[in-house]
Amino acid sequence: MTRRPHRTTTGRLGSQAPRLAMVMATPEPMASSDSTPPVEAAQRARELLGKLTAAAGDRDVGWELTLLLDSLTEERSELNVRVNALEEENRALQERLDRGHQDYAQLRASMDELLNLHELSEAISTSLNLADTLDALMRLSARVVDFDAAGVFALSREGPGLESMALRGNGKDLEARVESQWDDGIVDWVQRERRPIVFDDMESSGDMCFVLIPLIVGGKDIGLVALHSTRAKDDFTLGEIELLGVLANQTAAAIENSRLYTDLETAHGSLQESQRQLLLSAKQAAIGELAGGVAHEVNNPLQIILSRVQLMVVRHGDDERLRDGLALIENNVKRISRIIRALLGFAAHNRADAEGQPFELASALHQACALTRHQLESKLIDTELVIAEDMPQAMGSVGELEQVFINLILNAANAMSSGGRLTINADLQDSWLETRFTDTGSGIGPEHLDRIFEPFFTTHADDGGTGLGLAVSYRIIENHGGSITVDSVPGDGSTFIVRLPVPGKEPQPSGLMDKQ
């Protein structure tokens, strides 16, 4: 009779239970699953199974245990496969996480760069003050690079060299070091190559370096940004240098725009001054022609009136009442006569050019001071005359220019009613002989400055002023190819500036001062 493969063997197994329990209770040690390969573990399991089967005395029990062990081995293999798959998936997730962290760091750095650029662009677009823009550049550069000194330097318009526009930290020392780098040709290399450079500070005891970034706008070099960093040269990344370059280019555009705006303001001011002078010259020319004709027409009848008054004084001098009236008439007729002579003098100076010969400006100034000494001393006014050495000669009519100097001295004396000080300085300024008449008087109100050189305009009418002294002076200086301007603040006195061209030199723009 064929034996059934799955019959129950409980009774026989139960009779051998103590021995089986003893064998199972003392198994041979097996290697850890973490270090024992599945094949070796299965072999050890089969050896244990053989011992269990021998102890049980029933082959069916051993067979069932074999099936169970095979099933467990398969499950273990499946678990190992799943564990390996999970470990691989975990490694992939970790790599993705690491890449995500890197991408986030790069994104954050890019956002910081954009924020820095936006902040600098906003500073440039919202303010015409270059100092605000340079301050923003320094502040943003500090976020990129640790530095103990920084500076912005522009190429000088006067000649080779650099001009400091902004300094931070130990800026004075940095300025001296940059000048040394200019002499060593490092700055020239940066401008020629048009790219930043980072190099070690050989004079420093620690890991420090210099960073020089060129300022370029429209393909033109206009200067550089210099940083003295507390970091080592090799610590800089390409991204940091590129960001500093972008910030520098933004600043270069702001510097150039500021310069253009300043040039435009200067040109506009010069144009306004030229227009003012042209209008004043045209007005003076018209008044001069009119004054000459009127003076001649009035002078003859006036002389007749004056002679008749003087004759009546002789004939009726005993009548005190009549004599006083005639004296009043005579004084006013003489005043009119002085005005007419001034008109004739003004008309005489109303010509295009002044003819003359070379003369010493110092001699003319000394002569004018000598002729006005009595008036100045009578008003307790101290006078100081300062003339630079080796002054070149002036060209023109010495008599007319002495008249101008006398007019300006007396005008200053009239502004100082109770003492004061008049300082006269003569010096060479480029291609101009410049003489300044500075008083400590009451000054000129802003409402009068635009009319101060107009004929017949005077603020001293009560003192007998005709309003022609400064107008005549203006015409004389203009005929000599020069200029006369005034700088005055009410209560602080006035300064009249006379500029005459140096003979033989090409006149440069005289830099006329705007009236304040």
Domains and CATH numbers, the chain: 11-126 (no CATH), 127-268 (3.30.450.40), 355-516 (3.30.565.10)
Q: What is the pLDDT of residue 386?
A: 94
Read off the DSSP letter of residue 450: T
Q: What is the pLDDT of residue 181?
A: 87
CB distance 212 to 224 below 8 Å: yes
Judge whether residue 99 has pLDDT over 70. yes
Of 5-9, 33-37, 338-342, 442-446, the range with the highest mean pLDDT is: 442-446
3-state DSSP assignment of residue 237? coil
Tokens of 60: 């069916």
Residue type, 154: A
Cα–Cα distance for residue pair 478/395, rounded to 1 Å: 13
118 compared with 171, residue with greater pLDDT: 171
Judge whether residue 507 has pLDDT over 80. no
State mean pLDDT over 483-504.
90
CB distance 208 to 184 below 8 Å: no
CB distance 491 to 443 below 8 Å: yes
State mean pLDDT over 468-493.
86
Beta-strand relationship, 420-429 and 381-387? parallel
Q: Which of 393-397, 429-433, 445-449 has the lowest mean pLDDT?
A: 445-449
Cα–Cα distance for residue pair 281/443, rounded to 1 Å: 24
Q: What count of other Cβ atoms lies within 10 Å of the Cβ of residue 211?
A: 24
Over residues 399-416, the pLDDT tens digits come to: 888 889 988 998 899 888
Cα–Cα distance for residue pair 22/279, rounded to 1 Å: 131
In the block, which residue shows the tokens 């009239």?
414
Over residues 205-252, the pLDDT tens digits come to: 777 888 898 988 888 888 888 888 888 888 888 877 887 787 788 788
Judge whether residue 75 has pLDDT over 50. yes
Cα–Cα distance for residue pair 358/398, rounded to 1 Å: 9
Tokens of 398: 């010495």
421 compared with 49, residue with greater pLDDT: 421
State mean pLDDT over 52-61.
60
- Phi and psi angles of residue 225, each rounded to the nearest 5 degrees, phi first: -105, 130
pLDDT band (50, 70, 90) for residue 22: very low
- Mean pLDDT, the chain, as a whole number? 76
pLDDT band (50, 70, 90) for residue 319: confident
Q: What is the pLDDT of residue 409?
A: 92
CA dihedral for 94, 99, 101, 102, sign (positive or negative) = positive
Judge whether residue 495 has pLDDT over 90. yes
State mean pLDDT over 344-370.
74
114 compared with 402, residue with greater pLDDT: 402
Over residues 127-151, the pLDDT tens digits come to: 567 777 777 777 777 777 778 888 8
Q: What count of other Cβ atoms lies within 10 Å of the Cβ of residue 359?
A: 17
**Percentage of the chain exceeding pLDDT 70:** 71
In the block, which residue shows the tokens 């001034």?
342
3-state DSSP assignment of residue 181? helix
Q: What is the pLDDT of residue 459?
A: 67
Q: What is the pLDDT of residue 48?
A: 66
Q: What is the number of H-type helices and E-type strands within the chain? A: 14, 12
Q: What is the pLDDT of residue 62?
A: 62
497 compared with 351, residue with greater pLDDT: 497
Residue from 474, 479, 480 nearest 496 by CA: 474
Q: What is the pLDDT of residue 128?
A: 60
Cα–Cα distance for residue pair 209/215, rounded to 1 Å: 20
Q: What is the pLDDT of residue 352?
A: 46
Cα–Cα distance for residue pair 45/41, rounded to 1 Å: 6
Judge whether residue 157 has pLDDT over 60. yes
One-character DSSP codes across 289-309: HHHHHHHHHHHHHHHHHHHHH
Cα–Cα distance for residue pair 349/364, rounded to 1 Å: 19
**Percentage of the chain exceeding pLDDT 90:** 10
Tokens of 310: 């003087």
Q: What is the pLDDT of residue 38?
A: 55
CB distance 356 to 398 below 8 Å: yes
pTM above 0.85, yes or no: no
Tokens of 394: 């002036």
Q: What is the pLDDT of residue 464?
A: 54
Tokens of 368: 């004018």
Judge whether residue 471 has pLDDT over 70. yes
Judge whether residue 47 has pLDDT over 90. no
Cα–Cα distance for residue pair 175/149, rounded to 1 Å: 9
pLDDT band (50, 70, 90) for residue 314: confident
Judge whether residue 274 has pLDDT over 60. yes
Q: What is the pLDDT of residue 37?
A: 56
Cβ-Cβ contacts under 8 Å for 380 (sequence gap 6 or more):
418, 419, 420
